[in-house]
Structures are given as structure tokens and as C-alpha cells.
Amino acid sequence: MRTLAGCAVVAAGALVPAMAGAQTLPLTESQALARLSTSSPRVRAIRAGIDVARVDILSASRWPNPRVNWDRQSVSGVTEHYFTASQLLPTSGRRGLEVQAASARVAATSNRIDDDVRRLRADMRLAFADLEAAQARVQELIRARGRLRELAQVLARRESEGDAAGFDRLRAEREVLDVEADLVVATTERAQAQAALAGFFEDVTDPSQIVAIRDPAPAAPVPSVAALMETAEASRGELLALRQDLEAARLSERAAYRSLLPEPEIFVGTKSSTASSGGAGSAITVGAGATGSVIGVHTTIPLFDRARPERTLAVTRAAQAEARAEAFRLALRGQVAALRAAVVDRRESAERYRAEAVNRADDIERIARVSYDAGERGILELLDAYRIGASARVRQAGLDATVREAEIELEFVSGWEMP
């Protein structure tokens, strides 16, 4: 019970900033994700791409502007004025298909942005895992330094009483210096991890306040590769985007064929002439003449421009989308299988190391201390036992971090979210 109480005190001291009275910001991973909300600048910067893509829909759905024409003709003393207004009527259906194709491209952009946001969340979780591991290293080194200082004090007292050699005290003090040097490096790494995590939030001005709180929930079982691939097929933004790219290309091809259908341009207006009813060569008076109406239809005959480049481009883009989707699936299956194996192997390795190395470290230290007090072992063997115990706990923190990193990458690649 004394050992557990001491560990709890040391752990609390390791997580509190050096400045006395400084406020801390304890965060679990779920709370950190909640802070990375849609109002975050990094999320808003990513999602701004959707608004840019929506411009294509506006461009495709706009109607052509009407045209106004004025024409003056004068010959043999007769002046005629034409004033007409014309409007192209998109009756071929091409405009509607182009709007659908633009909408599909916007959906593809939205799916890719969703993947980018998921990547951002995964990067934040990786930064959180790095901070957890850095905190664990600092905590263990502080614990080791405390135990060694206590040992050095005991040896100094024994030396003053003539029960211990000065070498033992000096060697223990040297070990304290080595641990303190490692602690400086570990503290710097923790500060860097805090800064990296704070970079995901807009309301954290002092990164040193952040304290990562580990979730004690047990790890969930990992689904099979087939189940993970099924989830990836339904949720990965890149795959969904490639399907939308394929749909957009097919709609663009149909729109290109529709462009071969003539679309009429109707014009109406008035015509005024200075010619009198007596004939074009007769004398006229001011204000004399006639005014009539004008109506007509223009259309384009697709004789030379048969929309071949547009059709070829649409077919090529469709083939490209299909090929990229197939290549993505093949690469995805390999990534899912490799990451799943990494998660399973790293979990087994971490648990085995915890059971065989970390859990026995206290026993090794206790046996070495008893043997040293009984005169059966020397100071070097006792310090080696302390060093082995501290090294095992620090290594365990690194192993746990590699497990979490593999789990996060598997969740991102497959779209599977760990319960």
C-alpha cells in the first residue's frame, strides 16, 4: 500500500507544471476531439473547398443572357432601323445534364474533404498518443530519481555511521545525475508533444497546461480483414469520391452528345423605314414612314464541331476514375491487412512485455535491495536492478504508444471506429 500511495503522489507531481499554482487543462481523447469542432480554423480551412466546388453548379445552371441588337441601313435615301432582342432556348437537355455532372463533382469534393477532416482528427489523436507516452516517460523517470535519491540518502547516513563505503554513495549519486539528464530530455519531449497537440485547438494559449488523461477502457477486438474492407468500401471518402467522379464523367458524356442537338435562338423586334407608301424613290416628309414587327429563329448546325473533344474527355475521365478506384481498392486491402496485423502483433507484444518485464520489475528491485542490505550483492547490482525496472516501464510506455498509433491508422484507413 505504501508503494501504491507513493506512485500516485509521484504521478500527480509529474503531470503538474513546474510553476506552482499553474492551471492545468486535463483532456481525454474524446474531449480533445470535441475541441476540434467544425469552428476550428483548420477544419474550416479544409471545408472551404466545398464552397469553391459549388461554383461549378452555379456556372452550369446559369441561363444564357439575352442579346439586344440595333441595326441601321440606308440606301437611295431610304433609312431602315432594326431593333431586336434574342434569347437562346436550351431545349436539348444538355444544361440539365451539366448541372447533374457538376453536382456529382461537388459530391466527390465533399467526400474527399470528409476524408481530409478524418485525417486531421487522426493526426490529432496521434499527437494525443505522443503526449500520453511522453507523460509516462517523465512520470517514470521522476519516480526512478526519487527512489535513487532516497537510496543515496540512506547510503550517506550509513557512511556517516561507518556501515557503508563512500563508493556506494558516490555511485548512487552518479546514477541520480544520469536519470536527471534523461529527465531533461523527456521533459523537453513532453513540451514538444503538448505544443503539437495545442496546435489543433484555437482556445489554448499555453500548451504546457495540457495534460493527457488515458482512457482506462479495455481495447476492443479487431474485426477481420473482410469486415474492415466492407466498412472501408462504404465509408472511405476517396472511394465514394471516385464513384462520384465516374458518375460525373458519364453525365458529361451524355451532355456532350446532347450538344449535337440544335438549340433555337428566337429573336423579336421592330423595323422602321422612312420609305412612304408611294415607293422607295418618292419624296418623304419628316416623320413619315412605316414601322413593323420582326421575328425569327437562329440555330447552329453541328456540321464541323461535333463535340468530339468533350466526348473523348468524358470517356477518358470515366476510364481514369474506374482505374483509380480499382487501384485504390487494391492498395487499401494491403494497408488494412498490414495495419490489422500490426495492431494484433503490437497488442500481444505489449501485453507480453507488461506481464513478463514490467510486473516483475518490482520483484527484481525488492530482491536486489534485500540482497544488498544482507551483504550478498554490491551497489552496482542494486543500481542495475533499479535501472532495469525504470527502463522496462519507459519501454512499456513506448510499446503502448505504438499500439495506439497502429489502432488509429487502422481506424482511418478502414473507416472502422473502435468502440
* Per-residue pLDDT reduced to its tens digit, 305-329: 888 999 999 999 999 999 999 999 9
Q: Residue 365: which domain range?
A: 9-38+89-264+299-414
List the CATH number of the domain containing 216: 1.20.1600.10
Residue at 327 is within a domain: yes
Does residue 4 have a pLDDT over 60? no
Which among 151, 286, 224, 265 has a CA at the least distance from the CA of 414? Answer: 224
Measured in degrees and rounded to the nearest 5, phi and psi for residue 82 equal -115, 130
pLDDT tens, 95-118?
999 999 999 999 999 999 999 999
Residue at 149 is within a domain: yes
Question: What is the pTM assigned to this prediction?
Answer: 0.80
Average pLDDT of the residues in 140-147:
92
pLDDT tens, 346-383?
999 999 999 988 888 888 888 888 888 888 878 888 88
pLDDT for 16: 45
* The one-letter amino acid at 399: L
Does residue 38 have a pLDDT over 80? no
pLDDT tens, 166-222?
888 888 889 899 999 999 999 999 999 999 999 898 877 789 999 999 877 778 889
pLDDT for 8: 37
DSSP H or E stretch at residue 81 = strand 78-88
pLDDT for 277: 53
Residue at 153 is within a domain: yes
Q: Are strands 265-273 and 78-88 parallel, antiparallel or unpaired?
A: antiparallel
Percent of the chain residues topping a pLDDT of 70:
90
Residue at 246 is within a domain: yes
pLDDT tens, 207-234?
999 999 987 777 888 999 999 999 999 9
Number of structural domains, the chain? 1
pLDDT for 280: 45
Distance CA 31, CA 45 (A): 22
Residue at 72 is within a domain: no
Residue at 363 is within a domain: yes
Does residue 258 have a pLDDT over 80? yes
Residue at 269 is within a domain: no
**CA gyration radius, the chain:** 39
pLDDT for 288: 55
Residue at 145 is within a domain: yes
**CB 314, CB 253: distance < 8 Å:** yes
Q: Are strands 67-75 and 290-298 parallel, antiparallel or unpaired?
A: unpaired
